[in-house]
Amino acid sequence: MNKKTVRDINVEGKKVLVRCDFNVPQDESGNITDNRRIVSSLPTIKYLLEKGAKVILCSHLGRPKGEVKKEFSLAPVAKELSKQLNIEVKLATDIVGENAKKLVSEMKNGEVILLENVRFDAREEKNDPEFAKQLADLAQIYVNDAFGTSHRAHASTAGVADYLPAVSGFLIEKELDFMGNALENPARPFVAILGGKKVSDKIGVIMALLEKVDTLIIGGAMAYTFFKAQGYNVGDSICELDKLDLALEIMEKAKQKGVKFMLPIDTKIGKTPDKDTESKTVKYTEIPDGWEGFDIGEETIELYKKELKTAKTIVWNGPLGLFEIDQFATGTNEIAKALAEIDAITIIGGGDSAAAIEKAGLSDKMTHISTGGGASLEFLEGKKLPGIECLENK
């Protein structure tokens, strides 16, 4: 990575503002249901504390749209951080107000506080320079480690870098190293697996990956659009009728680029997207009316597994079926298992994809699971990320 990191600066005794992505999922009672983003932020926080910095953490949680809403408070995150770090992490009642300033002024070296949700202030998402300056005024150094929010040009993710020396944390460094290397220097064969709901969500990623991969494997609901485009009936399956030409264009581009383009052969279909719905497996080209495709079938799983066994680098984005329902999670789970057993670099991007691998209990078997949803997609598309662009070059 060509950006400076916390290793490149002296932080001892300095007030360091660290932007993390603590946007974690919670249940109705506010309990954190997946703490991966918090755990992934610990190396940078611990490093700064060990070096004797005064660590001022900030993040958004959810989309409170510029209003203070209790259900979006970072209180549960402060609690989890205290537990993980084994020291008290005080939560300010505001962001750049009196309470935050008071807590900062009382900090000693090696202490850490957390500001309240930066999106409680409408100026955050507008990247308002005055708000960015007020954030900067709390500290002497800015560290961005919020990879998952690095595709947003907001005050705390980008604007603040106009007013302070700005470097990256270890999480951003790790994300860029793993995903960047896989894209720029892939051990070949390089295979991408793309699933998820819509072709339209993934056009940028598909087009960018077609320039780089040897094989592109398609699954998930987006596969039906490719079959419809070729004139087949897809029953009630999710299908984007306004993307049929695009689907054909993608297939044509794959041909031109010499990329092996693989579509599923069979699909598990159901009457409705419910756990007890009647289901059966049919050929992709023979989906009857009144039925909806929810997963790839056994033949496809075998075909894809065989292809994956030859790969040396695999990038996966988008579940291969409606994995939230057990009877339609087989395709996603079997391919995840295959990845876990293969001797290849395996990179997972996308919020739902990461959740699917976690649910299958295979997270620690992958080379890298990105903490970014939208951010990892934009990175795979080759887009510039404002939260990274704003940092100082080495």
- Minimum distance, C-beta of residue 385 to ligand 3PG, in the bound complex (Å): 12
Catalytic residue status for 374:
yes
| DSSP result, 245-289 | HHHHHHHHHHHHHT-EEE--SEEEEESSSSTT--EEEEEGGGPPT
Using the rule CB under 6 A, give the single segment among 63-71, 180-188, 301-309, 311-319 that binds ligand ADP: 311-319
Q: Which residues in the 332-351 window bind ligand ADP by CB under 6 A?
A: 350-351
Q: How far apart are CA 69 and CA 72, in angstroms?
A: 6
Q: Which helix (H) or strand (E) holds 141?
A: strand 141-144
**Residues 6+ away with beta carbon under 8 Å from 162:** 129, 132, 136, 390
Contact between residue 317 and residue 351 where contact means Cβ atoms under 8 Å apart: no
Using the rule CB under 6 A, give the single segment among 22-30, 35-43, 103-111, 312-320 that binds ligand ADP: 312-320
Catalytic residue status for 37:
yes
Is the CB of 109 or the CB of 367 nearer to ligand ADP?
367
Q: How far apart are CA 339 and CA 329, in angstroms?
A: 15
Is the CB of 196 or the CB of 297 nearer to ligand ADP?
196
Nearest 5°: phi and psi at 248?
A: -65, -40
**238 contact choice in ligand ADP, Mg ion, ligand 3PG, none (CB below 5 to 8 Å, kind-dependent):** ligand ADP
Q: How far apart are CA 391 and CA 394, in angstroms?
A: 9
Q: Fill in the per-residue mask, 336 to 355: x = in contact with Mg ion (CB under 5 A), - = not in contact.
A: ---------------xx---
Pairing of strands 190-194, 90-91: unpaired
Query: Taking CB positions, which residue lies at the least distance from ligand 3PG?
Result: 23
| DSSP result, 53-71 | -EEEEE---S--TTS--GG
Structure tokens at 28: 């109705």
Using the rule CB under 6 A, give the single segment among 17-25, 102-110, 146-154, 195-203 that binds ligand ADP: 195-203
User: Cα angle at 73 between 69 and 74, to 5 degrees?
Assistant: 160
Is the CB of 103 or the CB of 356 nearer to Mg ion?
356
Considering the rule CB under 6 A, would residue 36 count as an interface residue with ligand ADP? no
| Closest alpha carbon to 178 in 388, 379, 392, 39 | 379
Is the CB of 66 or the CB of 374 nearer to ligand 3PG?
374
Catalytic residue status for 36:
no
Considering the rule CB under 6 A, would residue 324 count as an interface residue with ligand ADP? yes
Q: Which residues in the 150-189 window bind ligand ADP by CB under 6 A?
A: none
Catalytic residue status for 321:
no
Q: How far apart are CA 153 and CA 159, in angstroms?
A: 7
Q: Which of 198, 253, 305, 312 is catalytic?
A: 198
- Minimum distance, C-beta of residue 196 to Mg ion, in the bound complex (Å): 7
Rule CB under 6 A: which residues touch ligand ADP? 195-197, 201, 220-221, 238, 293-294, 317-319, 321-324, 350-353, 373
Active site residues: 37, 198, 351, 374
